[in-house]
Amino acid sequence: MVILSLELTPARFRNYIIGVLMVCWAVGYPIATGLHYSIPDWNFKFLGASVAAAICCVPVFTCIESPRYYLIKNDYESARRTLKALESLTATDLELEKIDLTNLLSVSDKHRKQTLKQQLMDFRNNPSLLRDTLIQMFLWFCEGMFFYGFNFGWGAIFPNHLYRGYLLAGAGELLSAVLAVPFIARLGRRRAMMAGFLAAGFFYLLAIPEVKLGGQWTLENISCLMGIVFVSGCFSGVYLWTGELAPTSHRGFVFCACSIAARIGSFIGPYIFNNLAPVTHKAVPLGGLAFFSALCAGGSFLLVETGDKKICLSAEDVVVRRKKYFRYQI
């Protein structure tokens, strides 16, 4: 749905679409908390979650397929039908009969077959596409490690009430989802990601000193509560940026590769904190995450700003975009 939404949405609205997505993600926290709290048997907890997920999947079957997908497969008639279906949703006459859809593709793309083998060959033949994808995979890997591995202080604030802590986590997610939209709109994708990762790294370092602030509150708790806003905001950013950086011919492939990287990071993160921190010092994992945050900021610097640009259709478009727009400056 993320890919479809980004491909059907004009550039100026994509940031808001991802913002709505992350708000829905945050709203899932109280729903999950309510299901878990109200259903005592763990078997029925999974059943309740499955039913809720199935209900949310129903709208997928009513969605219009992306015309970009048909174009990259050289299926111009299906692309035209999809565009007519989209035209019917507006009051604008696009005069589709006068548009030659074949002109939207380069000469080589017109003879290209959309297969897994061809996708892999495109990575070999287009270093810019490969470099961008590897950087995005690294960002997703670190986001998974940051998001799931770092203790954001919910358990320390409510040590005897798991549900309150989980609801507070949802509130933090909701705050970051709302704030990320104007933050990205103001700074752009590239600068916002760099600033978000650097801010997260700062709060990782700030959480290291042992400073008690009264009651159950410590400097670590406060730093964690602030850090989650920036980490979650970067989570919104990687979804948006990956959808815009990857070309239509490889967008699904790149999202799958990045999701795999994020899952690996989500496994490593809790392992680090559950095993490394107790036998060393909490400065070791926190300092390590701050270092990775700085690397993520550097990786973001090496990517192209996409907020004001059209989505690329093919690997060749990525190469042209990078040569035309990338600059070694902030």
| pTM across the whole model | 0.85
50, two tokens = 């499955």
CA-wise closest residue to 11 among 318, 234, 309: 309
CA-wise closest residue to 238 among 131, 134, 140: 140
Q: Mean pLDDT for the chain?
A: 82
pLDDT at 330: 57
pLDDT at 139: 95
Q: What is the mean pLDDT of residues 232-250?
A: 90
What's the pLDDT tens digit per position in 247-303?
Answer: 988 999 999 999 999 999 988 887 777 677 678 887 888 888 889 999 999 999 999
CA-wise closest residue to 230 among 295, 138, 167, 143: 143
Please tell me which residue, 159 or 238, carries the higher pLDDT value.
238
Q: What is the mean pLDDT of residues 103-129?
A: 75
pLDDT at 279: 81
What's the pLDDT tens digit per position in 198-235?
Answer: 999 998 888 888 888 776 677 877 787 788 788 888 98
Rounded Cα distance, 82 and 86, in Å:
6
What's the pLDDT tens digit per position in 45-75?
Answer: 788 778 888 888 888 888 888 888 888 888 8
pLDDT tops 80 at residue 105 = no
CA-wise closest residue to 150 among 299, 300, 271, 23: 271
Please tell me which residue, 41 or 132, carries the higher pLDDT value.
132
